Amino acid sequence: MEIYTDVIILGSGVAALQSARILSQKLRVQIITKSNLRSSSTYYAQGGIAGVQSPNDSLQLHIQDTLDAGGQHNHKEHVDTLVTEGIKSLEQIIEEGFPVDRLTNGQISLGLEGAHSRHRIIHAGGDATGKHVIEHLLQQLTTNVTINEYEMAYQLLKNKAGRCIGVHTIQPNGEKNTYFAPHIIIATGGAGALYTHTSNRPNNFGDGIALAYLAGAAVTDMEFVQFHPSLLLANGQILGLVSEAVRGAGGRFVDRNRYPLMEGVHPLGDLAPRHVTAYEMYKARQSGKEVFIDISAITKFEERFPTIAALCHKAEIDLRKNLIPITPGSHFMMGGVVTDGYGRTSIEGLFAIGEAACTGVHGANRLASNSLLEGITFGKQMAQYILQEEISHIDFHSISPSTFYEELPLLQKHDLQQLMSTNVGIIRNEQKLQRAVQHFSFLQDIAKLNLDHLSMGQLELLFMHIVALLITKGALARLESRGAHIRTDYPQTDQALEKQWFIQKQGQLIKGSVWHESTKTRIHA
């Protein structure tokens, strides 16, 4: 089937729905999502939304914390937008009735998370903020929105002038559709499921990043993958997250003998930035220790953290013992499709937003609870930009890049996850990265591959390989340790590499300080 519309949004998390609700006030919007509306990473987000609310806090402090956590690698202008426009977007959804948690005196209850210098995390339903965000935004969608669930985009279409004009999709039964629109938005989320242990949904493979890259868009910062220190581990399985808010409320990292593992490691102790805590938990587990969050200092744990308590009950973890077993795992992709402050990518007509995009706000390591904030802020910025854009005639004839088809030597999903976890995980070095990259050499000419022969499962696997290659190449190129990128052979941070981006495009990796090539915006150091 061929469908013509005004806007196509790929994905259904916070950034997708925030932009959909604004765009759909005037334009027809088709949302295409690989599973269903209530299974995005946002829906399962336990953490909250960072926003300055208390008199002893300031926008400047929030900006500073974001830059410090990001290893000073952030796009400063976009961080300013995140914090200053973000607070307006947050206040707007609260005014609309978003059910924030409040104290008995009616004031908004403010939590603390890693690397924040002030209490500024707003929650809804305790540890169920993501679910409430999605339900709130869904209520605001107009009848101009059509939702297509269980449908996956597998190829972006471009016209002769190089503008993105549409997308090919596939459903699990193999049925295919083609959508055309002047605006195509990638909001497909992150790529945590490239690793064996992840807080992400099991099918978060970075599809949107692979799609954009195949179409020739620039991607960057792919070496910066955030690992969360505390995923809930039971019987060798990851059951979800144990939110950093638990440590904000007094939880502590301990071993089986309740020895505190972050003592003397970092001035912020259990609330040190995630790359520090994740690395410490990784080392402890590598040395054969089991690691836990000790919750004995937290009163009314089950009332305050109902989602985590329910996960623990399901796994038959006895909360009366006050020890929750954890392990680190992949959590957030700081890199992605290069965009400016309005979601514009290096391809006309193609936009990216949320975790799939790289605005540079997170730098080398995202500050906790800045991602839901990013979704509502840049989702709005982008939608408002698109609404005022004047579009002249668009040629909707697509040109086909496909020239060949061949069987690809793809690894099985589990083997790829193992390869990434072992060699491109929390710690990296030249030898490990070379070991990984050699598995991906067949991807060099991939942009010309005819994808029409592949099933949805094969396409997902191919996209996993492409994103894995982008991460590995970025990690090989960055000869320093910065934020979430830890190289044991280059343990120091190299000043000369601050705000140096490794832009990957059409098989090339170029180092530079130019951010967005269509607008040639320069980074302000």
Torsion sign, CA atoms 451, 452, 456, 458: negative
* Cα Rg of the chain, angstroms: 22
From CA 352, how far away is CA 373, in angstroms rounded? 16
Contact map string, positions 32 to 51, toward ligand SIN, x by CB under 6 A: --------------xx----
Stretch that binds ligand SIN, among 169-177, 365-373, 465-473, 494-502 (CB under 6 A): 365-373
Nearer to ligand SIN, 71 or 166 (CB): 71
Q: Which stretch binds ligand SIN (CB under 6 A): 187-195, 236-244, 262-270, 438-446?
A: 236-244
In the complex, minimum distance from the CB of residue 114 to ligand SIN, in angstroms, rounded to a whole number: 8
Report the alpha-carbon distance of residue 444 to residue 162 in Å, rounded.
21
Is 472 among the residues that bind ligand SIN (CB under 6 A)? no
To ligand SIN, the closest distance from the beta carbon of 368 in angstroms equals: 4
- 482 Rama sector, left if φ>0, alpha if ψ -120 to 50, beta otherwise: beta
Residue from 74, 89, 198, 243 binding ligand SIN (CB under 6 A): 243
Token pair in block for residue 423:
């060699």
The reply to whether 244 sits near ligand SIN by the rule CB under 6 A is: yes
Among 371, 381, 423, 504, binds ligand SIN (CB under 6 A): 371
**Burial bucket for residue 414 (CB in 10 Å: 0-12, 13-18, 19+):** exposed
Stretch that binds ligand SIN, among 99-107, 239-247, 425-433, 475-483 (CB under 6 A): 239-247
Question: Shortest gap between Cβ of 405 and ligand SIN (angstroms)?
Answer: 40
Residues 6+ apart with CB under 8 A from 146: 5, 28, 29, 30, 31
Determine, following the binding rule CB under 6 A, whether residue 369 of this chain makes contact with ligand SIN. Answer: yes
Segment near ligand SIN (CB under 6 A); pick from 36-44, 240-248, 258-266, 397-405: 240-248
Active-site pick, 120, 274, 428, 487: 274
Known catalytic membership, residue 274: yes
Closest Cα to residue 251, out of 269, 237, 233? 269
| CA neighbor of 87 nearest in space, from 112, 116, 63 | 63
Least separation in angstroms between residue 425's CB and ligand SIN is 18
* 15 binds ligand SIN per the rule CB under 6 A: no
Residue 430 CB, nearest distance to ligand SIN (Å)?
30
> Looking only at residues 45 through 104 of this chain, which bind ligand SIN when binding is defined by CB under 6 A?
46-47
Distance CA 135, CA 178 (A): 29
Minimum gap (Å) between residue 120 Cβ and ligand SIN = 12
Q: What is the 3-state secondary structure (H, E, C) of 332-393?
A: EECCEEECCCCCECCCCCEEECHHHEECCCCCCCCCCCCHHHHHHHHHHHHHHHHHHCCCCC
Helix (H, G, I), strand (E, B) or coil at 57: coil
The token duo for 164 is 């993105």
In angstroms, what is the minimal distance from the CB of 121 to ligand SIN? Answer: 8
- Min dist CB 323 to ligand SIN, Å, is 18
| Interface region with ligand SIN, contact rule CB under 6 A, candidates 281-289, 309-317, 364-372, 388-396 | 364-372
Q: Contact 153/181 with Cβ under 8 angstroms? A: no
Which CB, 217 or 245, lies closer to ligand SIN?
245
Looking at the Cβ atoms of 334 and 476, the one nearer to ligand SIN is 334
Judge contact between 126 and 111, C-beta under 8 A: no
| Residue 368 binds ligand SIN, judged by CB under 6 A | yes
Residue number of the CB atom closest to ligand SIN: 47
511 exposure class (CB count in 10 Å sphere: 0-12, 13-18, 19+): exposed
Which of 238-246, 295-303, 338-346, 379-387 is the region at the interface with ligand SIN (rule: CB under 6 A)? 238-246
Question: In angstroms, rounded to a whole number, what is the distance separating the alpha carbons of residues 217 and 162?
Answer: 11
Could you list the active site residues?
A: 274
Residues binding ligand SIN (CB under 6 A): 46-47, 241, 243-245, 368-369, 371
